[in-house]
Amino acid sequence: MSQDLRVGMVGYAFMGAAHSQAWRTVNHAFDLPLRARMSVVCGRSEGAVARAATRLGWEGHTTDWRALVESDEIDLIDICTPGDTHAEIALAALAAGKHVLCEKPLANSVAEAREMAAAAARAQTQGVRAMCGYNYRRVPAVALMRDLVASGRIGAIRHVRAQYLQDWIVDPEFPLVWRLRKEIAGSGALGDIGAHIVDLTQFVTGQSISAVSALTETFIRSRPLPSESAGLAASSISSPNGAGRGDVTVDDAALFLARLDGGAVATYEATRFATGRKNALRVELNGALGSLAFDFERMNELEFYDGTRPGTEQGFTRILVTEPDHPYLAAWWPPGHSIGYEHSFTHEVRDLIEDIAAGREPAPSFTDALRVQLVLDAVERSASTGSWTDVETVLEPA
CA atoms in the 13 A half-sphere facing the CB of 161: 10
Residue type, 185: A
Contact in structure between 379 and 390 (CB atoms under 8 Å) = no
Q: How far is CA 147 from CA 108, 151, 293, in A?
A: 31, 6, 13
Q: How many alpha carbons fall within 13 Å on the CB side of residue 165?
A: 12
The contacts of residue 261 (CB under 8 Å, 6+ apart) are 207, 208, 209, 210
Fold of 3-136: Rossmann fold (3.40.50)
Q: In whole angstroms, what is the distance from residue 220 CA to residue 164 CA?
A: 19
| CB distance 376 to 112 below 8 Å | no
Those residues with Cβ within 8 angstroms of residue 300's Cβ, 6 or more apart along the chain or in another chain: 140, 141, 320, 321, 322, 338, 339
Question: What single DSSP character describes residue 338?
Answer: -
- The pLDDT value recorded for residue 246 is 96
- Residue among 65, 59, 67 at smallest CA distance from 86: 65
Predicted pLDDT of residue 229: 47
- Per-residue confidence in pLDDT tens, the chain, 398 aa: 459 999 999 999 999 999 999 999 999 999 999 999 999 999 999 999 999 999 999 999 999 999 999 999 999 999 999 999 999 999 999 999 999 999 999 999 999 999 999 999 999 999 999 999 999 999 999 999 999 999 999 999 999 999 999 999 999 999 999 999 999 999 999 999 999 999 999 999 999 999 999 999 999 999 999 986 444 444 455 555 556 999 999 999 999 999 999 999 999 999 999 999 999 999 999 999 999 999 999 999 999 999 999 999 999 999 999 999 999 999 999 999 999 999 999 999 999 999 999 999 999 999 999 999 999 999 999 999 999 999 999 865 44
Please tell me the pTM assigned to this model: 0.94
Burial category of 34 from C-beta neighbours within 10 Å (exposed 0-12, middle 13-18, buried 19 and up): buried
Domain 140-298+300-339: assigned CATH number: 3.30.360.10
CATH 3.40.50.720 residue spans of the chain: 3-136
